[in-house]
Amino acid sequence: MAAGVAAWLPFARAAAIGWMPVANLPMPVAPAEKNKRQDELIILNVSGRRFQTWRNTLDRYPDTLLGSSEKEFFYNEETKEYFFDRDPDVFRSVLNFYRTGKLHYPRYECISSYDEELAFFGIVPEIIGDCCYEEYKDRKRENAERLMDDQEDNKDAKLPNMTFRETMWRAFENPHTSTMALVFYYVTGFFIAVSVITNVVETVPCGSAPNQKEVPCGERYTVAFFCMDTACVMIFTVEYLMRLFAAPSRYRFMRSVMSIIDVVAILPYYIGLVMTDNEDVSGAFVTLRVFRVFRIFKFSRHSQGLRILGYTLKSCASELGFLLFSLTMAIIIFATVMFYAEKGSSSSKFTSIPASFWYTIVTMTTLGYGDMVPKTIAGKIFGSICSLSGVLVIALPVPVIVSNFSRIYHQNQRADKRRAQKKARLARIRISKTGSSNAFLHSKRNGLFNEALELTGSTEDEKRLSKSTSLLESQHHHLLHCLEKTTVSVLILELFNHEFVDEQYYQQSYLEGGLQNYPSRSPSLSSQDGVTGTCCTRRTKKHHTPLPNASAPAHMQPLTHTHTHPQGLQELSTIHIQPLSTSRSSLNMRVDEPAPLNCQSSQITTAIISIPTPPVTTPEGDAHLPAGPAHQNVVKVSAL
Amino acid sequence: MFTPSKTNQMRGDLQHFRKDYGFSRKVLLNCCLVRRIITWASPNPQDSVEDELELSAVRHRPEGLEQLEAQTRFSRKELQILYRGFKNECPSGVVNEDTFKDIYAQFFPQGDASTYAHFLFNAFDTDHNGSVSFEDFVMGLSILLRGTVQEKLNWAFNLYDINKDGYITKEEMLDIMKAIYDMMGKCTYPVLKEETPRQHVEVFFQKMDKNKDGVVTIDEFIDCCQNDENIMRSMHLFENVL
């Protein structure tokens, strides 16, 4: 029931008295009206701007936030008003909806912010009034297209495990993904051009012997042209078969437009091969050669503009149909008129109505060849009317097609621009994220520094450092610290845990993992010096360094390693770090050096933690772990 | 452009608007624009001065609050509430028949309430000027909600008596009955048959028509109703509506 109707319900109920004398049965009892309170004003404070309305106004729509008891959550006892921390400008529209029953969409408002506000207040956007609905829908569609374009780009990404077939298909569809694909792309493009040029040149009259009439080049150099044609067709056939093999859904591929064009392009050749012996059908064979020109459509894989044109024509099919229909109507009308007008004159070219069609078409499209000209006065008058109306009829649907093309073209331009800007945007976002990850590491060092200071007892330095982090930041950092402390490897006696680390360290340690020893600093570590030898010896060594890149050492180790070790988890952590980062490990242990850590933080991109993989004691588990790239077991934490 | 085509276009737009949901938009338009369009599109050209008067008459302002308070049995606050609801739906101050029908039809989505709304409109429009102003509205409601049983029965009789001649004939009653059954719509259980209204009319006349002269007068009606328990009880049903 609409809003205003609720106000008339008392009237409808009162009017029901008109039924009473007619009724035979007793009426049901009316619902009791509990605490019939007087209508009161309520104050809605939206980000400081106060709106006031009757409570009944809001009660009109009980399935929204303001109309139900949900607004009690926002009630402020001290000020006796309902406080919403939302946009007051959009709230105007929302409140007007309650008052008038119509929801309007303000044009200057961003569509997604408006949607969010509506979702917050529990209002379905479909009830936007007709005055604003179209605009709303248009903007929403535009926005969705924009987001969809952004998502589409992601599918270019290479999935880790692609079969040969999938790789091939991807190479065919996106030539820029690999060099081979690019080479193939250009080669096929070249051959298409060669084939088309061959077909064209074939018909040019070559120089001839003086006593003979001119023959086209095709007949003069038959063998050469035949060889060229054969080569091109072979290339196209191979390409088609490869695409057919690689296609994820062969049936769908065979039905697609491009594949049909491919088939039509190469078929005449094969039919020609089969049919050369039979002289009767040579006429048809000649006709088939016309289809060779379809090879030029193969260029649409290479040109985006062509694809846009094709797509535009497809989307304007109704306008084109209308154009065709109206033209046909006009042609028939004028042809008939001209025929009868010119019937009287002698030696008239307008021999029949279909013969007049040609005149009408030529005149309406303002070509005016002049091969058929009206001679009578009536014919001339109608001819001039015909040409004037031709201009009008053709000019009407064309702007629609043009605007469609323009819209699609601009959309594509925008998509390309967004794709180009995307890299820069992502890089900027990454930098800002690493800023926050840096803050955590920085605060950790500062915390360490604070501990050191506590030991040494200087207070003003401590104050200087502590005020640089806000409460929120410090709580966040504490949380991350707790996570670090949680990921304790259970089987090892000494307490070391995985830590957040800079990517730089990760990479360095990953590369030099097998090469360096960790100079032991931990008092709890056994004093056995590690020898970088076989992985087994490394494993039995108790020099563990707390590094989160658990899978990396596993990756480094040869796959043939099948030893079962009791310390299943440890093997994942036996990576050696260079001395530069020793100070990091010292966070776990007591502080030996109070000097601030000299971590280079210039090229940090993301912080990485790794999920400690469950302890594996089976050989298969061992072999499984290193499968795949190292970062499979590593979880990137970038949104700090 | 010329005026006639503009009015045609506006009429077309109006019809386009009418198709939609959104009750108050229709009301707004119907109250003001319909009158305007009919004025402009009417073939006999009126004086422009008269046009102005016609337009200004569309914006109706009710009598003062004190007068209405005196004439009806509503308190000041109740009148305020009533007027706010009334004016919200009909900013021009008057309700014409189409709007009235639309409003009433919103409460009975299953059936067709237009016939009954037509009768109701005539019952409310006491001065028969084709539109229900706020005073008519409030007077009617005052009787229905705060009147004595006698007054209510009187009002009901007035409703049934379509041609206002003081007698309810069988044909009038049949019209009313059909209108009421139309409001039920088709989806009823058990299914309503064609002759159900007629039978109902027969039952009614048997009860009400004491002297069997084929018509029911006001006295017969009131007497009969006062003797019927059900009717008496139901008269008090909507007393606390407002």
DSSP A517: P
What pLDDT does A578 receive? Answer: 40
**For the residues B99-107, what does the mean pLDDT come to?**
85
Q: Which residues in chain A are contacts of B156 at CB distance < 8 A?
A: 17-18, 20-21
Residues A421 and A454: beta-carbon distance below 8 Å: no
**For the residues A620-639, what does the mean pLDDT come to?**
39
Q: How confident is the model at residue A585 (pLDDT cuts 50, 70, 90)?
A: very low
**For the residues A78-98, what does the mean pLDDT come to?**
92
Does residue A124 belong to the interface with chain B, where contact is any CB pair within 8 Å? no
Q: Which pLDDT tens digit goes with each residue over A171-203?
A: 888 887 788 888 988 999 999 999 999 888 888
Q: Check whether A605 has a pLDDT greater than 50.
A: no
Q: Which pLDDT tens digit goes with each residue over A374-428?
A: 999 999 999 999 999 999 888 888 888 888 888 888 888 888 888 788 888 888 8
Q: Check whether B30 has a pLDDT greater than 70.
A: no
**From the list B85, B204, B235, which residue is nearest A22 (CB)?**
B204
Q: Which pLDDT tens digit goes with each residue over A159-173?
A: 667 788 888 888 888
Does residue A48 belong to the interface with chain B, where contact is any CB pair within 8 Å? no
What pLDDT does A369 receive? Answer: 94
Q: Which pLDDT tens digit goes with each residue over A433-472?
A: 888 777 777 777 776 665 665 555 455 555 555 555 577 7
Q: How confident is the model at residue A558 (pLDDT cuts 50, 70, 90)?
A: very low
Does residue B170 belong to the interface with chain A, where contact is any CB pair within 8 Å? no
Q: Check whether A125 has a pLDDT greater than 80.
A: yes
Does residue B206 belong to the interface with chain A, where contact is any CB pair within 8 Å? no
Q: For all residues of chain B together, what is the average pLDDT?
A: 78
Residue A333 structure tokens: 């009308």
What pLDDT does A449 receive? Answer: 61
In angstroms, the CA B176 to CA B189 distance is 21
Residues A513 and A576: beta-carbon distance below 8 Å: yes
Q: How confident is the model at residue A623 (pLDDT cuts 50, 70, 90)?
A: very low
Pairing of strands A81-84, A41-46: parallel
Q: How confident is the model at residue A93 (pLDDT cuts 50, 70, 90)?
A: very high
Q: Å from A40 to nearest chain B CA? A: 11
In angstroms, the CA A543 to CA A338 distance is 103
Query: Angle at which helices A164-173 and A179-202 pack, to 10 degrees?
Result: 50
Q: Check whether A49 has a pLDDT greater than 50.
A: yes
What pLDDT does A411 receive? Answer: 82
The mean-pLDDT minimum among A26-30, A443-447, A541-545, B163-167 falls in A541-545
Q: Check whether A532 has a pLDDT greater than 60.
A: no
Element (H, E) at B18: helix B3-18
In the stretch 35-74 of chain B, residues with CB closer than 8 A to chain A read none
DSSP A177: G
Q: Check whether A355 has a pLDDT greater than 80.
A: yes
Note whether B22 contacts A1, CB cutoff 8 Å: no
ipTM above 0.85, yes or no: no
DSSP 3-state assignment of A276? coil
DSSP A294: G
State which residue of chain A sits closest to B89, comparing Cα positions.
A4
What pLDDT does A433 receive? Answer: 84
What pLDDT does A568 receive? Answer: 37
Torsion-angle region of B130 (φ positive above 0: left; ψ -120 to 50: alpha; else: beta): left
Q: Tell me the whole-structure pTM to 2 decimals.
A: 0.51
Residue of A83 and B233 predicted with greater confidence: A83
Note whether B22 contacts A102, CB cutoff 8 Å: yes
What distance lies between CA A549 and its chain's CA centroid?
A: 32
How would DSSP label each residue in A37-105? Answer: PPP-EEEEEETTEEEEEEHHHHHT-TTSTTTSGGGGGGEETTTTEEEE-S-HHHHHHHHHHHHHS-B--
What pLDDT does A536 receive? Answer: 44
Percentage of chain A modeled with pLDDT above 90: 19
Q: Which residues in chain A are contacts of B177 at CB distance < 8 A?
A: 22
**For the residues B219-228, what does the mean pLDDT come to?**
88
In angstroms, the CA A13 to CA A21 distance is 15
Element (H, E) at B132: strand B131-133
A174 to each of A158, A178, A424, B96, how far by Cα in Å? 11, 9, 22, 67
The mean-pLDDT minimum among A432-436, A559-563, B58-62, B114-118 falls in A559-563
What pLDDT does A544 receive? Answer: 41
Mutating which of A22, A33, A37 best tests the B interface, going by the most B Cβ atoms within 10 A? A22
Residue of B34 and A302 predicted with greater confidence: A302
Q: How confident is the model at residue A626 (pLDDT cuts 50, 70, 90)?
A: very low
Cis ω on the peptide bond leading into residue B190 (within 30° of 0)?
A: yes
**For the residues A365-377, what does the mean pLDDT come to?**
92
Mutating which of A20, A33, A61 best tests the B interface, going by the most B Cβ atoms within 10 A? A20
Residue A155 structure tokens: 């599918």
Q: For all residues of chain A together, what is the average pLDDT?
A: 73
What pLDDT does A588 receive? Answer: 45
Q: How confident is the model at residue B6 (pLDDT cuts 50, 70, 90)?
A: low
Q: Which pLDDT tens digit goes with each residue over B7-25?
A: 556 555 555 555 555 455 5
What pLDDT does A278 receive? Answer: 65
Q: How many residues are recorded in chain A?
A: 640
Residue A241 structure tokens: 């078969």
**Mean pLDDT comparison of A144-158, A353-367, A494-508, highest-scoring range:** A353-367
Q: Check whether A136 has a pLDDT greater than 60.
A: yes
Q: Which residues in chain A are contacts of B88 at CB distance < 8 A?
A: 4, 7, 99-100
How many CB atoms sit inside 10 A of residue A141's CB?
11
Q: Check whether A356 has a pLDDT greater than 80.
A: yes
Q: Which residues in chain A are contacts of B231 at CB distance < 8 A?
A: 20-21, 23
In angstroms, the CA A529 to CA A67 distance is 74
Q: Which residues in chain B are contacts of A33 at CB distance < 8 A?
A: 240
Residue of A158 and A265 predicted with greater confidence: A265
The mean-pLDDT minimum among A342-351, A452-461, A572-581, B49-58 falls in A572-581
Q: Å from A639 to nearest chain B CA? A: 46
Residue A447 structure tokens: 């915390």
What pLDDT does A70 receive? Answer: 87
**Mean pLDDT comparison of A7-21, A44-58, A560-574, highest-scoring range:** A44-58
Q: Which residues in chain B are contacts of A27 at CB distance < 8 A?
A: 230, 233-234, 237
Does residue B19 belong to the interface with chain A, where contact is any CB pair within 8 Å? no
**Mean pLDDT comparison of A231-235, A288-292, B131-135, highest-scoring range:** A231-235
Mutating which of B74, B199, B230, B236 best tests the A interface, going by the most A Cβ atoms within 10 A? B230
